[in-house]
Amino acid sequence: MWNRQPAVYIMASKRNGTLYTGVTGDLPARVWQHKNGEEKGFVREYGVTMLAYFELCDDIHAAILREKQIKKWRRAWKLELIEGLNPGWRDLSADIF
């Protein structure tokens, strides 16, 4: 069973596709929302349903700071971050459910 822990995550529509960076206190629940179309707007419009990257954080404040940092990055840096941990662009949601 997954323990609730703050996390920053990157969802993608596909390999090298549209990216969405977010923060949550319950990663499995948040990913489920993305995958089941419960998110409106950008996430649903671009089909951002694949968990490409995540980092667990000690507390929600650290997760929010990390999310803000990553959101400021160039796209190329985000792709490097993903490929450093997940070079095959596997959907990591299987690791958390």
Instruction: Compute φ and ψ for 56, nearest 5 degrees.
Output: -85, 145
pTM: 0.93
Task: Tell me which residue of 21, 16, 17 sits closest to 46, measured CA to CA.
Answer: 17
Residue 1 has pLDDT above 80, yes or no: no
CA distance 13 to 56: 22
At the fourth CATH level, the homologous superfamily of domain 7-95 is: GIY-YIG endonuclease (3.40.1440.10)
Q: pLDDT band for position 2 (50/70/90)? A: low
* CA-wise closest residue to 61 among 73, 50, 49, 69: 69
Report domain extents, the chain.
Answer: 7-95
Beta-carbon count within 10 A of 27 CB: 25
Whole-angstrom Cα distance, residue 46 to residue 14?
A: 10
